[in-house]
Amino acid sequence: MSPEPEKEMKGKRDKPEKGSPVDRAGGESRRQEVDAAPAGEIRIGAFICNCGTNIAGFLDAKDVSDYARMLPNVVFSRENLFSCSEAGVTDIKNAIKEHKLNRVVVAACTPRTHEPLFRAACEEAGLNKFLFEFVNIREHCSWVHKGERDIATQKAKDLVRMGVARATRLEPKEEITTDVKRTALVIGGGISGLTCALSLARRGFMVTLVEREKELGGLLRYVNVLYPSGVSAGTFVASRIKEVKKSSRIEVLTSSTVQNVKGYIGDYVVSVSSKDRKSRDVNCGVIVVATGANQLVPEGHFGYDGKKVVSQLQLEGMLRQGKLKSKRIVMILCAGARIRERVYCSKICCMTSIKNATLIKKTVPGASVHLLYRDLQCYGVANEEAYLGAKAMGVRFVNYSLENPPVVENGRVRVSSPLSGREMSIETDLVVLASPLVPREGAEVVSRMLKVPLDENKFFLEAHVKLRPMDFATDGIYVCGTAHWPASVSESISQALGAASHASIPLTRGYVKVEPIVSELVDEEACRGCGMCAAVCPYGAVEIVETDKGPKARMIEVACKGCGVCAASCYKRAIGISHYTDEQLDAQVRAYLKGDE
């Protein structure tokens, strides 16, 4: 069983704990000393990063640093080679202590990747990390003005001046801490959902697994064998299902769908409707989306009829059941993919086709297999070896173009190959179409309930493709497998383990810390309780409650992401954003308009 939370923390501002960065730097007393030393005086340190040639190659970083030194309240300014390096971070920490800085401004690369690093440096030096201001002079200056050095330099000066003006109005903040219920909900019972649920259960957490179909297993139930192991897909997924059903920590709800979701990270209430039982609410701390994908039925492509022209998934069934009788087989790739209606590459179709072509050559004596392709996705050493192995076994690979696709008619396939420069007519008993994976029905409904985005193709969209590939922007909700994007079985399993690992972080801690950059009701008297703010909030972080003074907006701090939509929509200006106040923004605008006067 997972350990119980050490203390009640819900709704409380975070305090430095023993061993924390603040404690290591001297604790709360050190923080207060730096924040207020000397009392009443604003002492700003400005650090201008030249980033080698990345920034300094297109603007004069030293000139910007010299300019920053002359700004009001700036008592220290320095140009650094790489501010994000260990030496650069150490320089910032030393300067905070030596020059008694109580505000820090860093002009460098994108805050998306670097701001947490500099905030941590401030905190380790005893300075509240929200007394830090980031100025982006890479994307906003050097990258957009590469051929205009003087303009880039002047713009960097303007941005630094604005950053310093805002820094003078920053106030120390404390992170918001809330409890996390140590249970998880996994939506989807395919290989990703099964793997994720098992991983979380093995970590000691209770898991509810919701699957809308009668059986678990997803698409893998219809696949013949897995590549490259050659293991029966049915046997493999059956073993996972058995483990899930055997686990005392996993509750399986089949023939069930999610109807409604309320709450926020640590305290979600999910309404689940089942065909064979009464609807119920599931209370959980985190949610994992593993709803999977479907294979496109290639109707309208290359004469598909489900008999003489079939899909790869239908071929998998023939091979699994030993019912393949044809000996002259033509496989056509990109059937319904990489076209105007569906522009993306499904990524796994090529290797599925090569796998099945190889199996046919091995199991059907004298079989002739032609594989017609536009481009081949054989990424990785194992896939490349499989491609070469298929060629060695006699599988014929023929290239075709989108402008001149193959024509299926009267037991033959005509194809013009731009590589060979000739047209071929291939006799065939069976045409197999490799069609792409497409999002599951209901993805948009799940997206709206969870308040998580879909991409232009209706797959679920992660928070950041590199930095947070299994997280959503909404805290406490994670994604894995083909719900996210077409993926192989091994990739889906890896993502499921990654999602479980991420989800287990707040579950293990028993609490979560949230940045205090959130909406706040700054004028309760002005609030009319109209509900506009609650209606437009993309995170469900605003609710209207009845008070002694009538209906008023109430902010759920832990769910808020500080986007400011509610504040912008409030016609009474009753809502503000902590850490991005009107006064701070006004100071930046005035600093820009003032220029160098």
Q: What is the pLDDT of residues 354-379, one digit of tens each?
A: 999 999 999 999 999 999 999 999 99
Q: Under 8 Å CB-to-CB from 472, ≥6 apart: which residues?
A: 289, 450, 452, 453, 460, 461, 462, 463, 478, 479
Q: Do 77 and 159 have their domain in common?
A: yes
Question: 470: domain CATH number?
Answer: 3.50.50.60
- What is the rounded CA–CA span in Å between residue 30 and residue 26? 5
Secondary structure of 305-345 as H, E, C letters: CCCCEEEHHHHHHHHHHCCCCCCEEEEECCCCCCECCECCC
pLDDT band at 230; cut points 50, 70, 90: confident
Q: Do 495 and 458 have their domain in common?
A: yes
- What is the rounded CA–CA span in Å between residue 247 and residue 206? 10
Instruction: Say which DSSP state 352 is in.
Output: H
Instruction: Please report whether residue 61 resides in a domain.
Output: yes
pLDDT at 490: 95
Q: Do 93 and 68 have their domain in common?
A: yes
Q: 122, 129 in Cβ contact below 8 A?
A: yes
Please compute the mean of the pLDDT values over residues 476-500 and round it to a whole number: 97
Please compute the mean of the pLDDT values over residues 479-494 and round it to a whole number: 97
Judge whether residue 30 has pLDDT over 60: no
Instruction: Please report whether residue 299 resides in a domain.
Output: no
Instruction: Quote the number of domains for the chain.
Output: 4
Domain end call among 512, 530, 557: 512
pLDDT at 3: 41
Domain end call among 432, 461, 488: 432
Q: Do 45 and 136 have their domain in common?
A: yes
DSSP 29-67: HHHHHHHTSSTT---EEEEEE-TTTTTTTTS-HHHHHHH
Amino acid at 86: E
Instruction: Please report whether residue 303 resides in a domain.
Output: no
Q: Which two tokens stand for residue 376?
A: 């081949």
pLDDT band at 23; cut points 50, 70, 90: very low
More confident residue, 27 or 488: 488
Question: Can you give the C-alpha Rg of the chain in angstroms?
Answer: 30
- What is the rounded CA–CA span in Å between residue 267 and residue 476? 9
pTM for the whole structure: 0.81
Percent of the chain with pLDDT over 90: 83
Question: 43: domain CATH number?
Answer: 3.40.50
pLDDT band at 596; cut points 50, 70, 90: low
Q: Return the beta strands (E) in 286-428 as ranges.
A: 286-289, 293-295, 309-311, 328-332, 368-373, 396-399, 407-409, 412-417, 422-427
pLDDT at 40: 73
Q: Which two tokens stand for residue 279?
A: 């609807």
pLDDT band at 338; cut points 50, 70, 90: very high
Amino acid at 266: G
pLDDT at 419: 87
Q: Do 144 and 228 have their domain in common?
A: no
Judge whether residue 161 has pLDDT over 90: yes
Instruction: Please report whether residue 595 resides in a domain.
Output: no
Instruction: Please report whether residue 28 resides in a domain.
Output: no
Reference 344, options 453, 441, 457; nearest CA is 457
Please compute the mean of the pLDDT values over residues 44-62 and round it to a whole number: 93
Instruction: Say which DSSP state 460 is in.
Output: B
- What is the rounded CA–CA span in Å between residue 254 and residue 276? 9
Q: Do 49 and 130 have their domain in common?
A: yes
Reference 161, options 263, 54, 77; nearest CA is 77
Instruction: Please report whether residue 403 resides in a domain.
Output: yes
Q: Do 148 and 239 have their domain in common?
A: no
- What is the rounded CA–CA span in Å between residue 352 and residue 222? 13
Please compute the mean of the pLDDT values over residues 82-108 and round it to a whole number: 94
- What is the rounded CA–CA span in Å between residue 109 and residue 120? 16
Q: Which two tokens stand for residue 262?
A: 């309320």
pLDDT at 25: 32
Q: What is the pLDDT of residues 425-441, one digit of tens each?
A: 999 999 999 999 999 99
pLDDT at 226: 93
The residue behind tokens 């209906």 is 551
Instruction: Please report whether residue 546 resides in a domain.
Output: yes
553 is in which domain, residue-wise?
A: 517-577
Judge whether residue 352 has pLDDT over 80: yes
- What is the rounded CA–CA span in Å between residue 573 and residue 318? 66
Please compute the mean of the pLDDT values over residues 104-132 and round it to a whole number: 94
Reference 298, options 335, 333, 352, 330; nearest CA is 335
Q: Under 8 Å CB-to-CB from 324, ≥6 apart: which residues?
A: 315, 318, 360, 363, 364, 430
Instruction: Please report whether residue 32 resides in a domain.
Output: no
The residue behind tokens 């045409």 is 431
Q: Do 187 and 110 have their domain in common?
A: no
Judge whether residue 53 has pLDDT over 90: no
pLDDT band at 474; cut points 50, 70, 90: confident
pLDDT band at 15; cut points 50, 70, 90: very low
**% helix / strand / coil in the chain, to the nearest 5?**
35, 25, 40
Percent of the chain with pLDDT over 70: 93
Q: Return the beta strands (E) in 164-279 as ranges.
A: 176-179, 183-187, 206-210, 250-253, 256-264, 267-274
pLDDT band at 63; cut points 50, 70, 90: very high
Q: Do 452 and 480 have their domain in common?
A: yes
Q: Do 220 and 287 have their domain in common?
A: yes
Question: 522: domain CATH number?
Answer: 3.30.70.20
Mean pLDDT of the chain: 90
Domain end call among 141, 173, 205: 173
pLDDT at 597: 54
Per the document, the length of the chain is: 597
pLDDT at 350: 96
Q: What is the pLDDT of residues 181-199, one digit of tens each?
A: 999 999 999 999 999 999 9
Q: Do 462 and 428 have their domain in common?
A: no
pLDDT at 228: 82
Classified as helix, coil or strand, 502 is helix
Cis peptide before 228 (omega within 30 of 0): yes
Q: What is the pLDDT of residues 563-579, one digit of tens each?
A: 999 999 999 999 999 99
pLDDT at 131: 97
- In this structure, the strands spanning 44-49 and 74-80 are parallel
Judge whether residue 275 has pLDDT over 90: no
Report CA 23 to chain centroid distance, whole Å. Answer: 32
Q: What is the pLDDT of residues 264-273, one digit of tens each?
A: 999 999 999 9
Judge whether residue 8 has pLDDT over 50: no
Q: Do 533 and 562 have their domain in common?
A: yes
Q: 273, 279 in Cβ contact below 8 A?
A: yes
Please compute the mean of the pLDDT values over residues 463-492 and round it to a whole number: 93
Q: Under 8 Å CB-to-CB from 246, ≥6 apart: which residues?
A: none
The residue behind tokens 């001046």 is 161
